[in-house]
Amino acid sequence: MQLIRNKVIPMLTALALVCSAVVASAQQPARADVEAFLKVTGFDVALESIRLSADSAPRMLGLEADDFGSEWQRLVREVFDTQIMHDMAINILEKTLTQPLLTHAAGFYDSDLGQRLVAVENSSHMVEEEGLKSESGGQIIEGLTRIGSPRVALLKRLNSASGGEDTSLRSIQEVQIRFLMAAAGAGVVELQMDEPDLREAMRAQEGELRAQLRQGALEGAAYTYQAFSDDEVLAYAKALEHPDMQRVYELMNVVQYEIMANRFEAVADRLRVMQPSQDL
């Protein structure tokens, strides 16, 4: 992703702060090791799944993807090209991921449990049917809650260990702001408020968004890990709670959202020639 403009602290600046303390004193991995890391952890599939979020871009402008006809799918294929996103991730991780952190994370995910987890996570990432994970996961949570199962607490612990809620909250806001500012800059839409007011409006909605993210993450975890035992879910949570894995997840979360925001900015630029501004 490109740096955030208009007096906004870039995500990559935050990324540098996250990793600066360790990069200076640890060996950076070779490109081939980073490539292997993406595959063994399933992060390559997580990046590919970013394209599934593309249809939310027109909704931010009060439209639907269908409003653009067949041109929309062509735009998604080109802008959210897997190789482009893959190369962006490799370039960032080469500079920020250290060999000790890579070795630690890859060691867990290369285990039997780790590979089974990656397989179901990869499958879950690429679910395209809207609402499937939420509906199925919600039914699982409802059933577990009814019988007083400790599984719900384990899933919450797992989600907490992944460190995704706060990062997701801030990153979703940045993606939306960057997309809207890029769309305004491209003349696609005229914003009724400037960036500071836009940020303030989003801050006012943080409570509701946080609750939605928390519930969505719980439903997603219930759906994704339904075939795993409580002991296996607990083992995964403990693995993610290790300080080295915490650093790895913090880095991967930021990289994923940085790439997402970059691609959404590219979408905004392309919309300029796809749809007359007066129709928006």
Tell me, yes or no, whether 4 lies in a domain: no
What's the one-letter identity of residue 209?
A: L
> Is pLDDT above 60 for 278?
no
Would residue 116 count as lying in a domain?
Answer: yes
pLDDT score of 274 more than 80 = no
φ, ψ of residue 267 to 5 degrees: the values are: -60, -45
pLDDT of residue 23: 47
- Residue 227 within any structural domain of the chain: yes
Q: Is pLDDT at 276 greater than 80 in this prediction?
A: no
Which has more pLDDT, 88 or 25? 88
Q: Read off the pLDDT of each residue in 1-9 and give the average, rounded to a whole number.
A: 28
Whether 6 is in a domain gets the answer: no
What secondary structure does DSSP assign to 183-236, as a single string?
A: HHHTTS---SS-HHHHHHHHHHTHHHHHHHHHHHHHHHHHHHTTTS-HHHHHHH
pLDDT tens digits, residue range 91-149? Answer: 999 999 999 999 999 999 999 999 999 999 999 998 878 788 999 999 999 999 999 99
User: What pLDDT is attached to residue 275?
Assistant: 53
Residue numbers of the domain that contains 173: 11-279
pLDDT at 102: 96
Confirm whether 3 is domain-assigned.
no
pLDDT digit string (tens) for 11-63? 444 444 444 444 444 588 999 999 999 999 999 999 999 988 888 888 887 77
**Does 2 fall in a domain?**
no
pLDDT at site 3: 27
Contacts of 98 (CB under 8 A, 6+ apart): 19, 22, 23, 26, 27, 28, 29
Q: How many domains does the chain have?
A: 1
Q: What is the pLDDT of residue 128?
A: 77
Share the mean pLDDT of the chain. Answer: 85
Interval 147-173: pLDDT, tens: 999 999 999 999 999 876 777 788 888
Q: What is the pLDDT of residue 19?
A: 47
* d(C-alpha 251, C-alpha 14), whole Å: 10
**Degrees to nearest 5, angle at CA 81 with 75 and 87:** 145
Residue 14 has what pLDDT? 43
Cα 11 from Cα 19, distance rounded (Å): 13
Res. 196: pLDDT tops 60:
yes
1 belongs to a structural domain: no
Task: Convert the pLDDT of each residue in 228-265 to its tens digit.
Answer: 999 999 999 999 999 999 999 999 988 998 999 999 99
Predicted local distance difference test score (pLDDT) of residue 7: 29
Position 5 in a domain: no
